[in-house]
């Protein structure tokens, strides 16, 4: 049976079972995941792959998202170019060189990618076009990469991955398979735009959240959760979900907002935090260590605590909305606009007991 036939049958079966065939059926977007759906079973991802066609059909239903037509048109209009050089293990992942295209084509690429504004994660360099994103995601990667168990040959999950910047860095570090999940469709489309130029590397960003993942998969060698915990109404449930996705002996990389303080200290914003509505719990490092241990993790290590600065998060031409500068008190930058401690982020590593 041919490669494409396999995923089409899988999609048809899932769509029939979940009644996903509708006027919004988006064959083109789902086809982009054919390689993943047909991945070898030795990756241990069968529970995810069996449910994936139905999830994709729902997420990419053209009748339920007003901007999806426009974003998909951008994807389909990107030029086909051969990249003479691809460098993923770099602060600015580079795909192709200016010599691979003409000036007119580079101008067209930039104009099309700017239509996918705002670019939160990055930076990227695509055939000479620099995507200067809001976050300097390379700075976070530098803080953690030297502490990880080597990613060479590992199956990795990145929860809340945005447009997949760190997924590309994981592939560059030698990961065998990287799955990113994020429910924000624009982020998924941005990843697909980068992948259009990079080619068929073993990296995939799925339009789903951790609550959509199969329960107790136990399939991943390394699981990343960066910038997610403080958005969860139940942080301990999130930690249990992360634990259940790891294989025995697997490693968790947890990065989140923290406050100064001792055991038992947690900031619970009354309303917004740094203009964000959906921030629920910001623990001290000692409190977060206890949460991890209570959730079944061992060998808990705090490897970094770094205040977030306007060097790392800022407004750019590729993200023109408010950023960190607008979230701090203009008269006292040592406080947020709400009078709360400013953003500080910690990175923990831990394993399953």
Write down the pLDDT at residue 25. Answer: 61
Give domain status of residue 224, yes or no: yes
Looking at 64, 90, 114, the residue that finishes a domain is 64
From the list 186, 188, 230, the residue with the least C-alpha distance to 205 is: 188
Give strand ranges (E) for the chain.
Answer: 86-87, 94-95, 124-126, 129-131, 155-159, 177-181, 203-206, 220-226, 246-257, 266-267, 282-283, 297-307, 328-329, 332-336, 344-352
- pLDDT (average), residues 301-312: 98
Residues 251 and 329 in one domain: yes
- Residue 280 is given by DSSP the state -
Write down the pLDDT at residue 201. Answer: 96
More confident residue, 344 or 41: 344
For the chain, how many structural domains are there in total?
Answer: 3
Residues 250 and 292 in one domain: yes
Residues 240 and 100 in one domain: no
Considering the chain, what is the average pLDDT of its residues? 92
What is the Cα–Cα distance from 30 to 27, expressed in whole angstroms? 5
Residues 124 and 260 in one domain: no
Judge residue 121's burial from the number of C-beta atoms within 10 Å of its C-beta, 0-12 exposed, 13-18 middle, 19 or more buried: buried
Quick one: pLDDT band at residue 22, thresholds 50, 70, 90?
very low
Residues 306 and 188 in one domain: yes
Residues 110 and 175 in one domain: no
Residues 244 and 185 in one domain: yes
Write down the pLDDT at residue 27. Answer: 85
Residues 150 and 42 in one domain: no
Span 117-137, pLDDT tens digits:
999 999 999 999 999 999 999
pLDDT above 80: residue 343: yes
248 alpha carbon, distance to own chain's centre: 23
Residues 284 and 319 in one domain: yes
What is the Cα–Cα distance from 257 to 283, expressed in whole angstroms? 8
Write down the pLDDT at residue 353. Answer: 75
Looking at 14, 32, 64, the residue that finishes a domain is 64
Domain that holds residue 8: 3-64
- CB of 180 within 8 A of CB of 210? no
Write down the pLDDT at residue 2. Answer: 41
- pLDDT (average), residues 176-196: 98
Residues 308 and 162 in one domain: yes
| Neighbouring residues of 187: CB distance < 8 A, sequence distance ≥ 6 | 120, 121, 161, 162, 163, 164, 205
Write down the pLDDT at residue 9. Answer: 46
Quick one: pLDDT band at residue 98, thresholds 50, 70, 90?
very high
Write down the pLDDT at residue 5. Answer: 47
Residues 249 and 305 in one domain: yes
Residues 104 and 191 in one domain: no
pLDDT above 60: residue 6: no
């Amino acid at each position: 049976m041919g490669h494409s036939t396999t995923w089409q049958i899988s999609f048809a079966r899932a769509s029939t079972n979940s009644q996903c065939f509708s006027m919004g059926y988006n064959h083109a977007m789902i086809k982009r995941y054919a390689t993943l759906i047909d991945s070898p079973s030795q990756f241990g991802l069968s529970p995810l792959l069996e449910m994936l066609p139905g999830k994709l059909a729902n997420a990419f239903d053209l009748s339920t998202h007003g901007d999806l037509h426009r974003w998909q048109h951008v994807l389909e209009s990107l030029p086909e170019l051969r990249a003479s050089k691809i460098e993923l293990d770099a602060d600015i992942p580079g795909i192709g060189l200016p010599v691979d295209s003409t000036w007119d084509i580079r101008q067209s690429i930039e104009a099309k990618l700017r239509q996918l504004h705002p670019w939160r994660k990055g930076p990227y360099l695509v055939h000479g076009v620099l995507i200067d994103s809001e976050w300097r995601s390379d700075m976070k990667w530098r803080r953690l990469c030297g502490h990880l168990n080597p990613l060479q040959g590992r199956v990795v999950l990145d929860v809340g991955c945005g447009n997949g910047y760190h997924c590309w860095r994981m592939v560059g570090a030698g990961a065998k398979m990287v799955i990113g999940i994020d429910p924000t469709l624009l982020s998924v489309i941005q990843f697909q735009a980068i992948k259009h130029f990079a080619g068929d590397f073993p990296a995939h960003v799925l339009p789903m959240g951790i609550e959509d993942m199969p329960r107790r998969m136990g399939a991943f060698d390394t699981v990343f959760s960066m910038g997610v915990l403080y958005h969860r109404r139940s942080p301990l449930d999130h930690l249990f979900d992360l634990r259940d996705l790891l294989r025995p002996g697997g490693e968790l990389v947890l990065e989140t907002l923290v406050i100064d303080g001792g055991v038992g200290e947690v900031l619970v914003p009354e309303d917004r935090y740094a203009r964000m509505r959906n921030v629920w719990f910001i623990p001290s490092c000692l409190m977060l260590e206890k949460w991890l241990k209570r959730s079944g993790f061992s060998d808990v290590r705090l490897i970094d605590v770094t205040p977030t600065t306007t060097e790392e998060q800022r407004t750019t031409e590729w993200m023109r909305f408010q950023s960190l500068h607008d979230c701090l008190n203009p008269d006292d930058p040592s406080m947020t606009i709400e009078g709360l401690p400013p953003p500080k982020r910690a990175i923990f590593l831990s394993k399953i007991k």
